[in-house]
Every structure is written in C-alpha cells, then in structure tokens.
Amino acid sequence: MKLAFGLLGRAPRLSERLGARLGRLAYRLGWRRRVVESQLAQAYPEGDAEWIRGTARSCYEHLGREWFAVPAVARGGLEEVRRRVDFGEGLEALQAAYGEGRGVVVVSGHFGNWEFAGSALAANGFPVDAVWQRLKNESLGRLVVETRERLGMKLIERGQAWDRLMNSLAAGRVLAFVADQDARRSGVFVPFFGRLASTHRAPALLALRASTPFFVGGVHRVGPQRYKAWVVRLDPPVGLDSRQQVLELTRMWTSELERRIRLSPEQYFWHHKRWKTVPSGTAQAAGGIRT
C-alpha cells in the first residue's frame, strides 16, 4: 500500500485521472449508490432524477480524484500545499484570533478535500492538532498518520482524555475537527438541509469551555490541482445557558458548511448516512424530520 502511495505521488495528473475513473467505476458497480442518491434527493427535493444521478456520479468522480491527489501533495510537503491551495478568505481573521494567545478551534466537514484542510493551516504557520478516529485497517491507519504528520499536523485520537484537548488550546495551538458525521445519541440535533441531524458537540463545547475563538472552514477544489481555503469566525451567542450555547454554535457552523456545500454539492461526501440517528419520539426512524 505504501509503495502504491509513493508511485501515485510521482505522477499527479495521471493519478487524478485514474482516481476519477475509479470513482466512476464505483458508481457503476453501485457501491453505496443508493445512499448517495437517496440523500441527494432528500437534500435537494427540487432536483429531478437526471440531476440526482448526474450529481451522484460527479460525487464519485470527485472522491476518487481527491483521494488520488493526496500522495503528490504529501510527497511535496507543505511547500506543495502552499503551491496548490490559495488561502484568502478569513486568513487575516484567523491570524488575529491566533494572536490572542488562547488557542483556536476550527471545525470542518467532509467537503472538498478535507485532507488538505488541516495542512492548509499548517502551511500558513499555524501549529495544528488534528482530532482523528483510528481506522480498523491498521496498515491504512499508519499511512494516514504518516501522511498527516508529513503535512504538518499532530494527531490526537478521538476519545482521548479531555484534558489533552484543553491543554492543546491552553498551549495556544489550533485544534482542528472534521465533525459532520452522525454523532448518534451523544450528539445535538441541528438542521442540515432542512432535516435534523445528530452532530458532534465537542468542537463547540471545547471552544466555550476554554473561551477560545471558534471558526468553521474548509478547502474545496476550484480547478485542476487548484484549491481554495476559507475560514469564518463564529461568535458564541450571549444570553443563553451553556447547553443552548453549544446547540446554537453547532447550528451556526453546520449552517455555514451547508451554505458552502450548496455551491458545489458534488464535492460533499454524501456516502455516509448523515441523518441516520433521529430525535427521540419521531416516527421517521430512517431519515430524520423536516424542520
């Protein structure tokens, strides 16, 4: 696996074309196609069947292309990240927040190329601790760790001591999350494309507990081997109790992520079941509820 990863990194254009073709093949073979098309239909009720199928196919092409884009960037390190990723929107606000010395929480989603999101921060001089979940495939997990560390990130495994996350912020570091997957019963329910989705509360809760600046951001593709990085600062609401503050801040970042996805729906990872968990007492056990 590591050898194949290295070979892909030596021919970036060929690798991305190969990735897109494999993505199309995965679509034709039906890998999670029903999930992708069903969720697109739920998120875009105005879309006809042709639009749903075309967007779903583009999702697979994008996913394959972006996975195969990672080896070349990892091979070139942070210099390659700086060459490919234009970090314009929100950079000054993030630098000002980092300068406050209280650490920064940045949350993102599975949109664009999320592997480049944390590295775009590191490439611009921010010390990044990225929260991740250990993979069942150990060899793949080791490769992921090596790649992310090569791209300037230190990793903190999800579920480790809360104190380690707080210590990262206390040290003035940037704590990065990809937190848009279904959080089951431990999450808070906020609207996502008009349906309530169980969403991880940890990013908002950490920022509020540590009184640290909070951002939502990401990296999306704008052309061949070209990307745009963006971050938006979100200020926690006042006049609410702590539970409602966590809920509202989570709603705010999810809403901003949704706004970005609507601009390029084919770049979102519709393959995971975003509305898998539903609020207690609802009848629609399969897909959430309308809001």
- Sheet of 85-89, strand order: 85-89, 226-233, 214-223, 104-108, 174-178, 128-132, 153-157
3-state helix, strand, coil in the chain (%, to 5): 50, 20, 30
Is residue 159 predicted with pLDDT exceeding 80?
no
Question: What pLDDT is recorded for position 6?
Answer: 54
* Cα 36 off chain centre by: 17
What does the alpha-carbon distance between residue 59 and residue 66 come to, in Å, rounded to a whole number?
11
Report the predicted TM-score, pTM, of the whole model to 2 decimal places: 0.91
Tell me which amino acid residue 208 is. L
Which tens digits make up the pLDDT trace of 60-71?
A: 999 999 999 998
Residues 6 or more apart whose Cβ sits within 8 Å of residue 268: 59, 109, 110, 111, 261
Question: What pLDDT is recorded for position 135?
Answer: 67
What residues are paired with 290 via a beta bridge?
195
Tell me which amino acid residue 109 is. G
Question: What pLDDT is recorded for position 8?
Answer: 55
Residue 283 pLDDT grade (very low, low, confident, very high; cuts 50, 70, 90):
very low
Token pair, residue 127, equals 């010390």
Is residue 280 predicted with pLDDT exceeding 90?
no
What does the alpha-carbon distance between residue 264 and residue 283 come to, in Å, rounded to a whole number?
32
Closest residue by Cα to residue 72 from 16, 117, 142, 1: 16
What angle, rounded to 10 degrees, do the helices at 115-123 and 49-84 form? 30
What does the alpha-carbon distance between residue 136 and residue 141 come to, in Å, rounded to a whole number?
7
Domain boundaries, the chain: 81-267
Question: What pLDDT is recorded for position 227?
Answer: 97
